[in-house]
Amino acid sequence: MVMNNGNGHGGPHPRHFYFTIDCDWVPGSQVGLERLLDLCDCYHLKGTIFFAGRFAETYPDLVRDCHHRGHQLGTHGWAHGGLEDDEDFRLASYDQQRQWIRRATDAVEKAAGVCPVIFRAPNLRIGEVTLRALEDEGYRYDSSIPARRFDMGFGRVHYTEYFWAPLEPYNPSWQRLHRPGRSSILEIPPSACLFPINLASLRVLGLPALRRMINWVGRRSQHLVFYCHPSEFLYAKDQVFPRAMSKWNQWGMCPANLSLVEALIDSVLNLGYAPVPMVNTAPRSVDLKQPIISRVVGYQSDHA
Ligand SMILES: [Zn+2]
């Protein structure tokens, strides 16, 4: 039981709030990211921003701006968001996954000059192979395992293999991602109470329902991971989505969602959560003149 002393910090074990943004490859959505960055500045909130590689490659100035404003940079697949057949880290081979991760890593490094060490799988589809690929690419954190999440036909998580994964950060087992083990990767699962603690749930279910879900998570974990997408803060007609993307997913995208997020942040801070970064070390800057492969190998030998 955590005592809330009312000033945004709990007792001896403050509750941790991770504000995270997934930048899928959706041309047009960069405007939504700019709006989100301004909102974060108002709250002095430092978030973790996961970039699909093609987003980072196309909007490098914006990626650099995120870094300069104090946010942590992660990766989120290579072209996830813009494909009819999206990247699937549950089905893809080890080599294919390393290629996607490396291209995205390279794009973020080129844009911001820092080495991303945190990953979120597109559509939260992750497997044991992904854990190995991340370790071998020098990653140290992941935030993909959909613990306590099952969307029942509405959202994107339709597998239950990792449903009972810990809600607190943990190092997964190489054989079974939902069990604690000896991987060097620290998993910080995106929070869910059947449905995810994200902006889509907030838009559809409303703040009172999300507050109840947050309380449910809060009784089981000190850690709350929220996520949203830049595309949710502008009209769908101003952005480029794959043809196959459902109207359901595009429903309710508009600038007014910014005030929904503000209300959520107020609510979470009132519950005694303290915003914290996912990565607790300073970003490692990279020498962009070096080929990426030696940067990765060098990183591993430093941190083995
Ligand atoms: Zn995504």
Whole-number pLDDT of residue 7: 38
Instruction: Give first-to-last CA distance, the chain, whole Å.
Output: 36
Q: What tens digit of pLDDT does each residue of 194-237 get?
A: 899 999 999 989 999 999 999 999 999 999 999 999 999 999 99
Whole-number pLDDT of residue 246: 75
Distance 23 CA to ligand 1 centre (A): 6
Q: Is 44 left (phi over 0), alpha (psi -120 to 50) or beta?
A: left
Distance 196 CA to ligand 1 centre (A): 13
Distance 63 CA to ligand 1 centre (A): 16
Amino acid (1-letter code) at residue 10? G
Burial 188-213 (b: 16+ CB within 10 A, else e): bbbbbbebbbbbbbbbeeeeeebbeb
Weakly modelled stretches of the chain, pLDDT under 70 = 1-13, 153-154, 288-304
Q: Could you give the dihedral angle defined by the CA atoms of residues 197, 276, 50 and 296, in that order, rounded to the nearest 10 degrees?
A: -140
Question: Ligand 1 (ion): which residues have CB within 5 A?
Answer: 22, 24
Give domain 15-303's CATH superfamily.
Glycoside hydrolase/deacetylase (3.20.20.370)
Whole-number pLDDT of residue 12: 56
In this structure, the number of other CB atoms found within 10 A of the CB of residue 22 comes to 27
Give the integer Cα–Cα distance in Å for 231 and 169: 28
Whole-number pLDDT of residue 154: 67
Distance 3 CA to ligand 1 centre (A): 35
**Sequence-ordered strand ranges (E) for 11-113:** 15-23, 48-51, 72-75
pTM, entire model: 0.89
Distance 88 CA to ligand 1 centre (A): 11
